[in-house]
């Protein structure tokens, strides 16, 4: 079993992540254009509950998956005007991430520290906790929020294009990429993720979301430090880090 996982473990993980993010992309659109009273994170919580609860609780979930992928009658009642530009940009970013997960190259080495990888996952998954909270009714704040989210998604798309098959979620070495936005800062994708969460807080401000933003930002900063320590074992990355001085924002940090 260990030999099988050693040979095929990364393929299995990539396939699972592909299915997960593909389903996220589908339901980002579906739950927006067909009012259901559910947000994306509520969909996933109910999915988990259905898996634990058995056949009866899974019936509604199975029907939802059936509608998503086989029965497209929901298109008749879809209201595409509910998809704002920042919704489309976020969906495009998720679709590109899905493709890269399927195509990415195997890592040359991976950080085996459980705590360090937990920080990496906490930063990456922190966006889940922002979804589904009450939003402001201020049109100005909603416009500002949308602009920040679009900017963050553009940064995300560009950095994923720059990384190509070297994209990863965990702290690992694949191939050092130094082009595009990586010539400006060492972690443009993390900067974009922090900007995305900032945009969400603008339209969903509360003490809770402010604390979430602070915690998420701290996780990304700590992740960047941990990742650099690991990657600096590679001479090529060490030379790159010596040339590009800033982590997130040019001339600031």
Q: What is the pLDDT of residues 166-195, one digit of tens each?
A: 888 888 888 888 889 999 999 999 999 999
Return the DSSP state at 184: T
Contact in structure between 27 and 83 (CB atoms under 8 Å): no
pLDDT for res 214 = 94
Contact in structure between 152 and 192 (CB atoms under 8 Å): yes
Architecture of domain 84-253: Up-down Bundle (1.20)
Contact in structure between 163 and 97 (CB atoms under 8 Å): no
pLDDT for res 3 = 56
For 55-76, what is the mean pLDDT?
Answer: 62
Compute CA 192 distance to the chain's CA centroid, rounded to the nearest angstrom. Answer: 11
How many C-beta atoms lie closer than 10 Å to residue 111's C-beta?
Answer: 20
pLDDT for res 98 = 85
Contact in structure between 170 and 120 (CB atoms under 8 Å): yes
Q: What is the pLDDT of residues 2-35, one digit of tens each?
A: 555 555 556 777 777 787 778 777 777 877 787 6
- At 50, the pLDDT band (50, 70, 90 cuts) reads low
pLDDT of 67 higher than 80: no
For 72-76, what is the mean pLDDT?
Answer: 74
Domain spans in the chain, listed from the N-terminal domain onward: 1-83, 84-253
Of the ranges 56-60, 202-206, 249-253, which one carries the lowest mean pLDDT score?
56-60
Apex CA 18: angle with CA 3 and CA 166, to 5°? 75
């Amino acid at each position: 079993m260990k030999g099988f996982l050693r040979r095929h473990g990364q393929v299995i993980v990539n396939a699972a992540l592909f299915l997960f993010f593909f389903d996220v992309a589908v339901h980002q659109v579906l739950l927006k254009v067909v009012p259901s009273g559910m947000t994306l994170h509520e969909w996933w919580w109910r999915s988990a509950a259905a898996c634990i609860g058995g056949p009866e609780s899974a019936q509604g979930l199975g029907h939802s998956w059936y509608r998503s992928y086989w029965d497209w009658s929901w298109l008749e009642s879809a209201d595409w005007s509910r998809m704002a530009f920042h919704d489309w940009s976020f969906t495009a970013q998720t679709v590109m991430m899905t493709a890269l997960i399927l195509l990415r190259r195997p890592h040359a080495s991976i950080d085996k520290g459980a705590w360090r990888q937990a920080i990496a996952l906490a930063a990456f998954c922190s966006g889940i906790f922002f979804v589904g909270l009450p939003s402001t009714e201020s049109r100005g704040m909603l416009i500002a929020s949308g602009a920040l989210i679009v900017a963050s998604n553009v940064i995300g798309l560009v950095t994923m294009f720059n990384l190509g098959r070297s994209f990863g979620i965990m702290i690992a070495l694949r191939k050092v990429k130094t082009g595009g936005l990586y010539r400006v800062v060492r972690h443009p994708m993390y900067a974009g993720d922090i900007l995305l969460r900032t945009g969400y807080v603008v339209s969903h401000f509360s003490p809770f979301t402010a604390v979430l933003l602070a915690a998420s930002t701290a996780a990304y900063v700590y992740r960047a430090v941990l990742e650099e320590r690991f990657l600096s074992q590679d001479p090529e990355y060490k030379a790159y880090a010596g040339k590009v001085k800033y982590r997130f924002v040019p001339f600031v940090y």
